[in-house]
C-alpha cells in the first residue's frame, strides 16, 4: 500500500511517499517559501540503489498549488512512483495539537477538522497550516483516506499529577490550561525502536529529543508518564532560541518594572533565548565551535544546556522508579558526543556509564554508547517522525 505523509507549515509543505508494510520511502521532498516569488521545490527519489535529487525554483502561490505540485511529481512517469492518484490509499497528516480530545491517531472527518480548528488557540502557529494541509490534500487526493497523527497524543497517557499546574482549577476547567507536551511522534518512535532493539516491552526509558526544539519524556512500558514541554513548547529544556524552564515571576517583573509588552516578552522567550540568548548563536554546531575556541559564553551556554538535561534525567529516574535506558535523538542528540557525555556525566551512582570509545564513533542507525557493565543502557536512535506517521496511518487504514 502506498501512503503519502504531509507536514504542512505556514509557508512550507514536507512530503514523503511510503510503500508499506516494508517502510520503503519512494520519494521525499520539501516545498518552501510558499506565497513568495522565490518558492522552491526540492525532492529526492529513492530508487533501488540510487538517490536522485531534484531542485526546481518556481513560484507557488498557496498550499493548494503546493499539493497539486506534489501530485504532479508523484504522477510523473519518469519518477515511477504512481500511475494514478488512486494508488495513494491514505494521506497521513502531522497535526501539532490534539488537546485532550485526541489520544490517538484518527481518520479525519468534518468533526475532526472542526476540533483541530478549535484547538488552534493552543497552537496558533501550527494547527491552522496543518488544517490547511488537510483541506487541500482532500481536494487533490479525494479518494484517499485522510488521517491525523497528533504530536500531543503520545503524552495523553500522563497522569493528572504530571500534567496539572498548581493554579486555580478554573483555569484548567475553562481554558484547558495544563501540560500537553510536544514531539510526541518522535518520542513514541524512538521508545518503540528501543523496545525492539532491547527486546523488551517492560522498559523504563527516558527519551531525549535534542533538535532545534528540545524535550524529554519518561516512558514506562511504552506509555508516556511525564514530559518536559507544557501548554506550549516553551517549557523544559534549553533550545536553540527558547530558554525552557523559567521562574514565571520573571515575566511579571519584566512587564511591571520594565514595561515590556506581552508581544515583546513573547519575542524574547520564543526567538531570543536559549543558546541564542546566551551566545548570540542558535545553531548547536556553531556554539560547539565557539566553545572549542575557548569562548566563555559558549562554555556557559553548554553547561546550562546539559545541566538542565541532567536534572531531568534525575527527576525522571525518580518518577519512573528506576531506569533501563536513556535514548538520545534528533539533530543534536544523534550527532554530538560532547552533549551526550556532558548530560550523563557524574551519574555513575544511577548506573549510567558512557563508553567514550563508542560515544565518539560516528555511525548510522541504532547504537549503544554505554559501557558493557553500565546498568542503564545509553542509546542513540535516529528519529523518523515521517515513518512513525506512515506506520500510524497504515495501522488505522489497512
Active site positions, annotated: 151
Contact residues: ligand AMP, CB under 6 A: 211-212, 240, 283-285, 288, 330-332, 335-336
User: In terms of C-beta density within 10 A (0-12 exposed, 13-18 middle, 19 or more buried), how is residue 261 classed?
Assistant: exposed
| Shortest distance (Å) from residue 369 CB to ligand AMP | 15
By C-beta, is 196 or 285 nearer to ligand AMP?
A: 285
| Shortest distance (Å) from residue 154 CB to ligand AMP | 17
The three cell numbers of residue 157 are: 497517557
Q: Compute how many other C-beta atoms are within 10 angstroms of the C-beta atom of residue 34.
A: 23
Closest residue to ligand AMP, Cβ-based? 331
By C-beta, is 112 or 330 nearer to ligand AMP?
A: 330
By C-beta, is 172 or 338 nearer to ligand AMP?
A: 338
By C-beta, is 98 or 240 nearer to ligand AMP?
A: 240
| Shortest distance (Å) from residue 117 CB to ligand AMP | 27
| Shortest distance (Å) from residue 151 CB to ligand AMP | 14
Amino acid at each position: 500500500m502506498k501512503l503519502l505523509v504531509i507536514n504542512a507549515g505556514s509557508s512550507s509543505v514536507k512530503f514523503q511517499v511510503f510503500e508499506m508494510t516494508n517502510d520503503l520511502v519512494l520519494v521525499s521532498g520539501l516545498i518552501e517559501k510558499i506565497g513568495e516569488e522565490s518558492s522552491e521545490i526540492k525532492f529526492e527519489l529513492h530508487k533501488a540503489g540510487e538517490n536522485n535529487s531534484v531542485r526546481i525554483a518556481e513560484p507557488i502561490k498557496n498550499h493548494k498549488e503546493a499539493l497539486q505540485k506534489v501530485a504532479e511529481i508523484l504522477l510523473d512517469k519518469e519518477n515511477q512512483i504512481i500511475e494514478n492518484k488512486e494508488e495513494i490509499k491514505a494521506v497521513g497528516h502531522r497535526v501539532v495539537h490534539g488537546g485532550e480530545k485526541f489520544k490517538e491517531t484518527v481518520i479525519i472527518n468534518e468533526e475532526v477538522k472542526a476540533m483541530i480548528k478549535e484547538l488552534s488557540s493552543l497552537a496558533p502557529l501550527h494547527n491552522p497550516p496543518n488544517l490547511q494541509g488537510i483541506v487541500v490534500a482532500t481536494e487533490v487526493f479525494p479518494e484517499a483516506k485522510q488521517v491525523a497523527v497528533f504530536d500531543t497524543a503520545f503524552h495523553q497517557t500522563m497522569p493528572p499529577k504530571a500534567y496539572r499546574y498548581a493554579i486555580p482549577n478554573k483555569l484548567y476547567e475553562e481554558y484547558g490550561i495544563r501540560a500537553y507536551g510536544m514531539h510526541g511522534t518522535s518520542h513514541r518512535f524512538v521508545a518503540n525502536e528501543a523496545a525492539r532493539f532491547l527486546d523488551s516491552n517492560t522498559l523504563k526509558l527516558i527519551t531525549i529529543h535534542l533538535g532545534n526544539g528540545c524535550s524529554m519524556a519518561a516512558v514506562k512500558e511504552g506509555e508516556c508518564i511525564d514530559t518536559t514541554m507544557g501548554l506550549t513548547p516553551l517549557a523544559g529544556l534549553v533550545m536553540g532560541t527558547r530558554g525552557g524552564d523559567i521562574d514565571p515571576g520573571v515575566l511579571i517583573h519584566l512587564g511591571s518594572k520594565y514595561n515590556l509588552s506581552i508581544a515583546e516578552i513573547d519575542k524574547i522567550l520564543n526567538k531570543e533565548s536559549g543558546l541564542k540568548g546566551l551566545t548570540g548563536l542558535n545553531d548547536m554546531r556553531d556554539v560547539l565551535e565557539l566553545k572549542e575556541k575557548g569562548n566563555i559564553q559558549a562554555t556557559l551556554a553548554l553547561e546550562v544546556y546539559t545541566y538542565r538535561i541532567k536534572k531531568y534525567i534525575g527527576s525522571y529516574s525518580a518518577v519512573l522508579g528506576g531506569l533501563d535506558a536513556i535514548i538520545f535523538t534528533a539533530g543534536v542528540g544523534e550527532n554530538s558526543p560532547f552533549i551526550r557525555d556532558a548530560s550523563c556525566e557524574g551519574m555513575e551512582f544511577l548506573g549510567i556509564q558512557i563508553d567514550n570509545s563508542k560515544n565518539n564513533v560516528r555511525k548510522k542507525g541504532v547504537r549503544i554508547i554505554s559501557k558493557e557493565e553500565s546498568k542503564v543502557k545509553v542509546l542513540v536512535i535516529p528519529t523518523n517522525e515521517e515513518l512513525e506517521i506512515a506506520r500510524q496511518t497504515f495501522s488505522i487504514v489497512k
